Copies of this chain bind each other. A is one copy, B any other.
Amino acid sequence: MKKSRKQTIVFKNAPKIIGNYTIVGQKEGNSNFKNYFDYVLKNDLFGEKTFENAERKMLEHAIWNALDNAHLDSKDLDLLISGDLLNQIISSSFAARQFDVTYLGLYGACSTMAETLAVGSAFIDGNYFSKVACATGSHFSSAERQYRFPLELGNQRPPVSQWTVTGAGCTILGDSGGDKEIVNATFGKVTDFGINDVNNMGAAMAPAAMSTLIAHFEDTKTTPEDYDLILTGDLGKLGSEILMDLMENKGYKLKENYKDCGQMIFNNNQKSYQGGSGAGCSAVILNSYVMQKMKEGVYSRVLFAATGALLSTTSSQQGNTIPGICHAVEIRNCADKKEKK
Question: Residues of A with Cβ closer than 8 Å to B?
Answer: 1, 3-5, 7, 9, 49-50, 52-53, 75, 78-79, 83, 85-90, 93-94, 96-97, 100-109, 115, 119, 122-123, 125-130, 146, 175, 187-190, 192, 310-315, 318, 320, 323, 325
Are A190 and B93 closer than 8 Å at their CB atoms? yes
| Across-interface contacts of A87 in B (CB, < 8 A) | 87-88, 312-314
| Residues A94 and B175 in contact in the complex (CB < 8 Å), given A9-B129, A86-B314, A188-B102 | no
Are B96 and A190 closer than 8 Å at their CB atoms? yes
| Residues A107 and B106 in contact in the complex (CB < 8 Å), given A3-B130, A310-B94 | yes
Q: A88, A108, A187, A312 — which one has the most chain B CB atoms within 10 A of its CB?
A: A88
Q: How many copies does the complex hold?
A: 2
| Across-interface contacts of A1 in B (CB, < 8 A) | 127-128
Are A310 and B129 closer than 8 Å at their CB atoms? no
Are B311 and A88 closer than 8 Å at their CB atoms? yes
Q: What is the distance, in angstroms, from A84's C-beta to the closest C-beta of chain B? A: 10
Task: Provide 23 A-B residue pairs closer than 8 Å at the C-beta atoms, listed in order of the A residue.
Answer: A1-B127, A3-B129, A9-B128, A9-B129, A52-B314, A87-B88, A87-B312, A88-B311, A88-B312, A90-B310, A90-B311, A90-B315, A93-B190, A93-B310, A96-B190, A96-B323, A102-B187, A104-B115, A104-B187, A105-B106, A105-B310, A105-B325, A122-B126
| Residues A318 and B50 in contact in the complex (CB < 8 Å), given A107-B89, A310-B90 | yes
Residue of B nearest to A10 (CB): B128
